[in-house]
């Protein structure tokens, strides 16, 4: 008990000493406060930069929720994200594991996402009869209602996770831009407008202007299931060259960033250089730009290619 009291007294005296020394120093030297201020500012700055290193996505995730219906909200353009450059892999979060079927009958996919007739088919075609109702797959807000070239009459709905669903070849609209819609709400009626051979729904799934293979996110079965709540997307799942419209692609779901990064290693397609090849030829054949091809392979545009050399294409 006695020793404790001594300790407490010693402690109090020490505190008082430090306090007096500090004020004495401050009175003696006005630079002291300035210095302390500068030091604390530097410490704050350091903390802030450490925070950024710890969580580079932090700022982005705040922006994500705040500006989904604000930024790049253009009701006149089908794709307002032309200037946006998306970094891979990126993820889509769903707050549900079920979507509402875009049509009221069994979904028959007549053409899939991928390469078709030497061109990219950036959505899937679901069979319907002109006049059938077409419904919103998820809650959201209508961003675009209008005629868009090959798509014909089109409705675009943006959802809270940033995803956009695109419903094309419609015959009639049942919604207006800026309207909030619930999943399952009728958006319009199916048809053949635009470049459609026979009546069907051309359905696209986009994120920041980039189309994703819809079958990577959604199962077009009778359960209307979303394949996972958090899905990571790699270039493979986006690039139509990696898919063909006549066959369903095998696409295991990446649930984490690590999964996606590991997947990218396996997804890589290697090309072995043959006589007469040039970077331009290889790039063209694989729908890449020379710059992309050089970046993936860490080579210069003027590098000399050797026969038998391997280049990563994906
Ligand atoms: Zn189509």
pLDDT, tens digit (0-9, with 9 covering 90-100), for 111-124: 999 888 778 899 99
Residue 264 CB neighbours (<10 A)? 16
Contact 154, 146 (CB under 8 A): yes
* Cα 309 to ligand 1 centroid, rounded to whole Å: 38
**Peptide linkage before 89 cis (omega within 30 of 0):** yes
Show Cβ contacts of residue 70 under 8 Å, excluding neighbours closer than 6 positions.
none
* Cα 202 to ligand 1 centroid, rounded to whole Å: 4
Record the tokens describing residue 124, joined without a space: 């899937």
Contact 107, 123 (CB under 8 A): no
Contact 174, 131 (CB under 8 A): no
CA-to-CA dists, residue 280 to 36, 55, 104, 284, 290, angstroms: 60, 39, 48, 6, 6
* Cα 74 to ligand 1 centroid, rounded to whole Å: 23
Q: Judge if pTM exceeds 0.85.
A: no
For the chain, the farthest-separated pair of C-alpha atoms sits apart, in whole angstroms, at 97
The whole-number pLDDT of residue 308 equals 82
* Cα 276 to ligand 1 centroid, rounded to whole Å: 36
The pLDDT profile of the chain, 314 residues, written as one tens digit per residue, is 444 555 555 555 444 444 444 444 444 455 655 655 555 555 555 444 444 444 444 445 545 555 899 899 999 999 999 989 999 999 999 999 999 999 999 999 999 998 887 788 999 999 999 999 999 999 999 999 999 999 999 999 999 999 999 999 999 999 999 999 999 999 999 999 999 989 999 999 999 999 999 999 999 999 999 999 999 999 999 998 888 888 898 899 999 999 999 988 777 677 888 899 999 999 998 888 999 888 877 788 998 898 888 787 86
pLDDT in tens, 17-38: 444 444 444 444 556 556 555 5
pLDDT in tens, 260-293: 999 887 776 778 888 999 999 999 988 889 998 8
* Cα 12 to ligand 1 centroid, rounded to whole Å: 79
The whole-number pLDDT of residue 241 equals 82
Contact 94, 229 (CB under 8 A): yes
* Cα 125 to ligand 1 centroid, rounded to whole Å: 5
Record the tokens describing residue 108, joined without a space: 């028959």
Contact 237, 267 (CB under 8 A): no
* Cα 204 to ligand 1 centroid, rounded to whole Å: 8
* Cα 197 to ligand 1 centroid, rounded to whole Å: 9
Q: Which residues are 201's β-sheet partners?
A: 126
* Cα 196 to ligand 1 centroid, rounded to whole Å: 7
In 3D space, the residue among 146, 170, 166 whose CA is nearest the CA of residue 157 turns out to be: 166
Distance of CA 148 to the CA centre of its chain: 23
Counting beta carbons within 10 angstroms of the beta carbon of residue 2, is it exposed (0 to 12), middle (13 to 18) or buried (19 or more)? exposed
3-state secondary structure the chain: CHHHHHHHHHHHHHHHHHHHHHHHHHHHCCHHHHHHHHHHHHHHHHHHHHHHHHCCCHHHHHHHHHHCCCCCCCCCCCCCCCCCCCCCCEEEECCCCECCCCCCCCCCEEECCEEECCEEECCEEEECCCCCEEECCCCEEEEEEEECHHHCEEEEEECCCCEEEEEEEECEECCCCCCEECCCCEEEECCCCCCCCCCEEEEEEEECCEEECHHHHECCCCCCEECCCEEEECHHHCCHHHCECCCCCCCCCECCHHHHHHHHHHHCCEEECCCCCCHHHHHHHCCCCHHHHHHHHCCCCCCCCCCCCEEECC
User: What domains can you pick out in the chain, each with its CATH number?
Assistant: 2-54 (no CATH), 90-254 (2.70.70.10), 270-312 (3.10.350.10)
Ion ligand 1, residue ranges at CB < 5 A: 123, 125, 202
């Amino acid at each position: 008990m006695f020793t404790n009291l001594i300790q407490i007294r010693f402690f109090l005296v020490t505190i008082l000493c430090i306090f007096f020394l500090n004020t004495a120093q401050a009175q003696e030297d006005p630079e002291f406060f300035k210095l302390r201020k500068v030091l604390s500012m530097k410490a704050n700055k350091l903390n802030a930069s450490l925070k950024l290193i710890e969580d580079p996505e932090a700022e982005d995730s705040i922006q994500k929720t705040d500006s989904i219906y604000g930024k790049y909200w253009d009701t006149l353009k089908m794709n307002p994200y032309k200037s946006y450059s998306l970094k891979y892999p990126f993820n889509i979060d769903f707050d549900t594991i079920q979507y509402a079927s875009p049509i009221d009958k069994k979904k028959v996919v007549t053409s899939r996402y991928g390469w078709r007739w030497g061109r990219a088919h950036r959505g899937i075609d679901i069979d319907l009869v002109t006049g059938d109702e077409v419904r919103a797959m998820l809650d959201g807000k209508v961003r675009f209602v209008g005629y868009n070239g090959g798509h014909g009459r089109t409705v675009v709905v943006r959802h809270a996770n940033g995803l956009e669903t695109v419903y094309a070849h419609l015959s009639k609209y049942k919604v207006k831009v800026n309207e909030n819609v619930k999943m399952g709400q009728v958006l319009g009626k199916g048809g053949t407008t635009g470049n459609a051979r026979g009546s069907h729904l051309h359905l696209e799934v986009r994120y920041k202007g980039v189309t994703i293979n819809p079958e990577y996110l959604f199962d077009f079965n009778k359960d209307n299931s979303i394949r996972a709540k958090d899905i990571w997307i790699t270039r493979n799942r986006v690039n139509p060259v990696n898919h063909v419209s006549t066959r369903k692609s095998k696409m295991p779901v990446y649930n984490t960033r690590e999964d996606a990064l590991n997947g990218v290693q396996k997804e890589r397609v290697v090309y072995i250089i043959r006589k007469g090849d040039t970077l331009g030829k290889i790039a063209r054949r694989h729908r890449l730009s020379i710059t992309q091809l050089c970046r993936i392979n860490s080579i210069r545009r003027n590098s000399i290619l050797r026969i038998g050399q391997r280049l990563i294409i994906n």
